[in-house]
Amino acid sequence: MHRGGGGRANRLFPTTDIDPKSLQRPDSETVRRVARFFVPYKSRVAISIVAILITAALGLVNPLLLKLIIDDAIANQDLQKLYLYVSLMIILPIIAGLIGVGQTWLNTVIGQRVMSDLREQLYSHLQRMPLRFFTETRTGEIQSRLSNDVGGIQRVVTDTATSIVSNLAIAISTVIAMWLLDWRLALLSLAMLPIFAVLTRKVGQARREVTSSTQRSLADMTTILEETLSVSGVLLTKAFGRQAHEIDKFRAENKKLIGFQIREQMIGRWFFMIIGTFFSITPALVYLVAGREIIHGGAMTVGSIVAFTTLQSRLFFPLGQLLNIQVEIHGAFALFDRIFEYLDLPITLRDEPGSVSLSHDEVQGRVTFRDVSFRYDRPADPEADGAQPFTLTDISFEAEPGQLVALVGPSGAGKSTISMLIPRLYDVDSGVV
């Protein structure tokens, strides 16, 4: 139904390969495009952020109360203060937990609605694409973008955005509290963090490339399933005895997919093992430095040490989460690149200036051809000279509403061309679908 040759078509529409340059697309551009999907829900996002900040602030109170219990209530043998501090340590986590439940519900609602908007926008955009796109793009590839790629970013959209805000709020507030307790111990606890941040970015970039390869392999797998397990595909396979060939083809793609998925999961695991080990041994270093100061008559108190190490343990989890999230986000960027690649495809079928919409009541259903001639665009071969010969020449007929019309003639006479010209599925200017 369209002219032969796939050279120009491959430049118009992507198949399974994403443009390598898109992997170099600035992350800020991708973040801005994703953030636009959250704009309709900005009031709910603001409420969620407020809830996160309240929860983070409440989490700081218990370590400070612990210091007061040891250095104030117990040291001065004051039961009233002991009862007060302990009561607050019991009540505040309950309040924080209730706020956290509400925040989780709100985050889930926002994330799911953003996912719904993204799926609808992608589906609507594909519905407006010309037939040529669907004839030159594998069905499995299109389905993979809508299911595998969109499904792959669901966790990032629903959880990661709020997780970043939550972990940042916890980490910043905890660092401030640790600095106020003892700036030297705070520096000791955070000494390796800048190095870890740089290495995490490199691990994330490697994860992004592997994720892109994984999604391409998933698209190939989906295409194989769609082509070989449909009714027509099974009939062809059995008719030509191709079962063994198709099984080998599927086995090879499945093996390649497993390799990509293993690499995707294992990237950076040694790195995060080192980070976890550092976070585990840092409290021991804090006890060593603080203990020496107390033994030598310094101003540090036992309550301060306990409060500091409690804050330190509270800090390491969000820091580890932020480093791990950075790697996950780079992997998600590969999926967003694939989705935005489809959303950026130009809509070539547009109404001409001055066109009008017809209602069903206004349409009579009469089809009239008067001296219609049509030919396809010249072939993709640049060495071919001259225009293509006319497929249809001076065709005239009229079909009345409700009349049954049969187009008969030998193969190549132009029956399919006429049936495509009636609903304007052919571009009469370029001679292509």
pLDDT band at 3 (very low <50, low <70, confident <90, very high): very low
Q: Look at residue 98 in the predicted model and tell me its pLDDT.
A: 92
Q: Look at residue 113 in the predicted model and tell me its pLDDT.
A: 87
Q: How many CB atoms lie within 10 A of CB 78?
A: 13
Domain ranges, ordered by start, for the chain: 17-205+273-343, 367-421
Q: Look at residue 91 in the predicted model and tell me its pLDDT.
A: 92
What is the number of residues in the chain? 433
Burial class (CB in 10 A: 0-12, 13-18, 19+), 240: exposed
Q: What does each C-alpha distance from 92 to 88, 181, 327 come to in angstroms?
A: 6, 21, 33
Arithmetic mean of pLDDT over the chain = 76
Assess contact for 393 and 413: CB atoms under 8 A: no
> Which 8-state DSSP code applies to residue 296?
T
Choice between 25 and 78, residue whose per-residue pLDDT is larger: 78
Average pLDDT over residues 379-383: 53
Q: What does each C-alpha distance from 140 to 90, 127, 228, 420 come to in angstroms?
A: 55, 16, 11, 25
The residue to which tokens 């030598």 are assigned: 296
Assess contact for 92 and 58: CB atoms under 8 A: yes
Instruction: Look at residue 17 and tell me whether its pLDDT is greater than 60.
Output: no
Rounded CA-CA distance 264/21 in Å is 21
Average pLDDT over residues 369-378: 79
Task: Please write the tens of the pLDDT for every residue from 386-414.
Answer: 566 777 888 888 888 888 888 888 887 88
Choice between 262 and 150, residue whose per-residue pLDDT is larger: 262
Given CA atoms 247, 249, 253, 259 in this order, what sign does their dihedral have? positive
What φ, ψ does residue 105 adopt, rounded to 5°?
A: -60, -45
Q: For residue 374, give the 3-state DSSP assignment.
A: strand
pLDDT band at 432 (very low <50, low <70, confident <90, very high): low
Average pLDDT over residues 133-161: 75
Specify the amino acid at residue 58. Answer: L
Burial class (CB in 10 A: 0-12, 13-18, 19+), 175: middle
pLDDT band at 429 (very low <50, low <70, confident <90, very high): low
Assess contact for 174 and 311: CB atoms under 8 A: yes
Task: Please write the tens of the pLDDT for every residue from 192-202.
Answer: 677 776 766 67
Q: Look at residue 20 in the predicted model and tell me its pLDDT.
A: 42
pLDDT band at 228 (very low <50, low <70, confident <90, very high): confident
Listed in sequence order, the residues at least 6 apart from 364 whose beta carbon sits closer than 8 Å to its beta carbon are: 401
Task: Please write the tens of the pLDDT for every residue from 89-139.
Answer: 899 889 988 998 898 888 888 888 888 888 888 888 888 887 778 877 777
- For residue 25, the surrounding DSSP H or E stretch is none
pLDDT band at 24 (very low <50, low <70, confident <90, very high): very low
Q: Look at residue 379 in the predicted model and tell me its pLDDT.
A: 53
Assess contact for 115 and 158: CB atoms under 8 A: yes
The residue to which tokens 């071919």 are assigned: 384
Average pLDDT over residues 206-233: 78
The residue to which tokens 């109404």 are assigned: 351
The architecture that CATH gives domain 17-205+273-343 is Up-down Bundle (1.20)
Listed range (70-74, 256-260, 268-272) with the worst mean pLDDT: 268-272
Rounded CA-CA distance 135/433 in Å is 9
Q: Look at residue 57 in the predicted model and tell me its pLDDT.
A: 85
Burial class (CB in 10 A: 0-12, 13-18, 19+), 145: buried
Task: Please write the tens of the pLDDT for every residue from 291-340.
Answer: 877 787 777 777 777 787 787 777 777 777 776 676 667 667 777 887 88
Instruction: Look at residue 5 and tell me whether its pLDDT is greater than 50.
Output: no
Q: Look at residue 95 in the predicted model and tell me its pLDDT.
A: 92
Q: For residue 183, give the 3-state DSSP assignment.
A: helix
Half-sphere exposure of 181 (CA within 13 A, CB side): 31
Average pLDDT over residues 21-48: 75
Rounded CA-CA distance 416/292 in Å is 90
Q: Look at residue 225 in the predicted model and tell me its pLDDT.
A: 81
Assess contact for 350 and 371: CB atoms under 8 A: no
